[in-house]
């Protein structure tokens, strides 16, 4: 089904002198940054540093929304999901029993990250990026002599040895780059934790669909099942970190996650060897992107949709914007340019998802009502999908009612 995966090895030599753009992390955000930088400035020295050898697994729901494919097409990548079948149906089930299953206006894909990320890395390397297998531990700002001895220039020094004019932190939820900037990790109430596994897809005759089953246990929380198209499905269960603790029977938090997943999707028992947990820093607690030559993208910038856990589209878009800013502005102004472009693309959407997440988190009845209404109102269903998977926003009339509701709730 999938096109062959190209194995990527560390080169023998690195660029001489400061690297134009050093990207920490080779996932979708990092590869998008490299592709954008080299699209806008061919010939720039772009290096991706990642601790893993590719191809490698990455804990994720594997869902690729059409909005992310739009970004990739703009970057010249058209085969990222080649060989995988489109899934154009999404089923939502709320804790109160409300359910809607409607074809989406645009299909999504489910591609294991082991394949998807390796394809993006191969595309970045084909464009001219260099991959090195390196774990980044330290960053510091310094000045070094310019090439040719004409004065000095500010650079970012990585691991005390590598120097770069701009560094892009695409190193995930536990970002070293973010910590180096003095930015704290998300608090537990703005950090989700999810467990993911692969399972055999039940042969029940149903059309291929992505399934999200919400639960009031630890609300807001949900399980998912996303069919890959090869007889397997990606399954998982996620909840806020602040809601997770040991079970009433003394079971560990890990056991609680595993058995809740099994209980919510009994028809798809997980392959134990594929069970892995990961953190999701939600966009309700994004750090402010500082000015200067160090940029944060994807999970490192807490760009995870708080309603759905979607992050790949945000990763691709933010990476693309950061890559462009890194090569079209000076290092001193790269952070400011990137911050402005990101706010222009996603600012209103992120403010609206934060508002909805706060309201939904207080009461699940709002989600029950929305899903029930979406069964008969196609435009509402499409709005929910756009808000959860893309850059959708709340209609003005609805926004006013929700703002009043939040104000009233805050006064109680």
- In sequence order, what DSSP letters do the residues of 325-365 get, joined into one string? HHHHS-HHHHHHHHHHHHHHHHHHHHHHHHHHHHHHHH-TH
Phi, psi torsion values for 140, nearest 5 degrees: -150, 150
251: Cβ contacts below 8 Å, ≥ 6 apart: 259
Residue 204 in contact with residue 331, Cβ under 8 Å? no
- For residue 336, name the pLDDT band (cuts at 50, 70, 90): very high
C-beta neighbour count of 412 within 10 angstroms: 5
Query: Given a cut of 80, is residue 3 above it in pLDDT?
Result: no
What is residue 55's DSSP assignment? S
CB-count exposure of residue 223 (10 Å: 0-12, 13-18, 19+)? buried
Task: Tell whether the torsion through CA atoms of 306, 347, 292 and 135 is positive or negative.
Answer: positive
pLDDT at 383: 87
Residues 6+ apart with CB under 8 A from 252: 246
In angstroms, the CA 71 to CA 50 distance is 22
Q: How far apart are CA 29 and CA 312, in angstroms?
A: 8
pLDDT tens per residue, range 71-130: 999 999 999 999 999 999 999 999 888 899 888 889 999 999 999 999 999 999 999 999
Question: Mean pLDDT lowest for which of 56-65, 145-154, 200-209, 257-266?
Answer: 145-154
């Amino acid at each position: 089904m999938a096109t062959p995966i190209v194995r990527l090895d560390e080169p023998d030599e690195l660029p001489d002198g400061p690297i134009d753009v050093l990207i920490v992390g080779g996932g979708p955000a990092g590869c998008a940054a490299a592709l954008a930088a080299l699209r806008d400035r061919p010939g720039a020295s772009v290096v991706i540093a990642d601790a893993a050898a590719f191809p490698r697994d990455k804990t994720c729901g594997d869902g690729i929304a059409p909005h992310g494919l739009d970004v990739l097409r703009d970057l010249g990548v058209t085969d990222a999901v080649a060989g995988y079948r489109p899934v154009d149906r999404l089923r939502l089930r709320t804790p109160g029993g409300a359910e809607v299953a409607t074809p989406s206006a645009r299909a999504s894909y489910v591609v294991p990250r082991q394949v998807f990320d390796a394809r993006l890395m191969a595309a970045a390397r084909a464009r001219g990026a260099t991959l090195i297998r390196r774990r980044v531990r330290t960053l510091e700002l310094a000045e070094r002599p310019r090439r040719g001895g004409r004065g000095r220039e500010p650079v970012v020094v990585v691991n005390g040895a590598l120097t770069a004019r701009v560094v892009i932190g695409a190193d995930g939820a536990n970002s070293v780059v973010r910590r180096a900037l003095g930015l704290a990790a998300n608090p537990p109430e703005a950090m989700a934790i999810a467990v993911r596994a692969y399972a055999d897809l039940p042969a029940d005759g149903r059309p291929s669909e992505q399934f999200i089953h919400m639960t009031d246990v630890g609300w807001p929380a949900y399980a998912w099942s996303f069919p890959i198209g090869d007889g397997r499905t990606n399954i998982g269960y996620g909840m806020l970190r602040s809601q997770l603790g040991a079970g009433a029977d003394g079971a560990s938090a890990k056991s609680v996650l595993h058995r809740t997943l099994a209980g919510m999707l009994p028809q798809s028992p997980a392959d134990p060897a594929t069970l892995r947990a990961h953190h999701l820093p939600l966009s309700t607690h994004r750090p402010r992107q500082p000015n200067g030559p160090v940029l944060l993208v994807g999970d490192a910038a807490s760009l995870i949709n708080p309603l759905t856990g979607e992050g790949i589209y945000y990763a691709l878009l933010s990476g693309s914007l950061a890559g462009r800013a890194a090569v079209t502005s000076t290092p001193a102004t790269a952070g400011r340019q990137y911050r402005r472009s990101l706010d222009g693309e996603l600012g209103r959407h992120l403010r609206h998802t934060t508002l909805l997440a706060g309201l939904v988190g207080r009461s699940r009845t709002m989600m029950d009502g929305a899903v029930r209404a979406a069964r008969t109102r196609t435009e509402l269903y499409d709005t929910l999908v756009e808000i959860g998977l893309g850059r959708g926003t709340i209609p003005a009339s609805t926004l006013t009612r929700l703002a009043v509701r939040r104000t009233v709730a805050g006064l109680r």
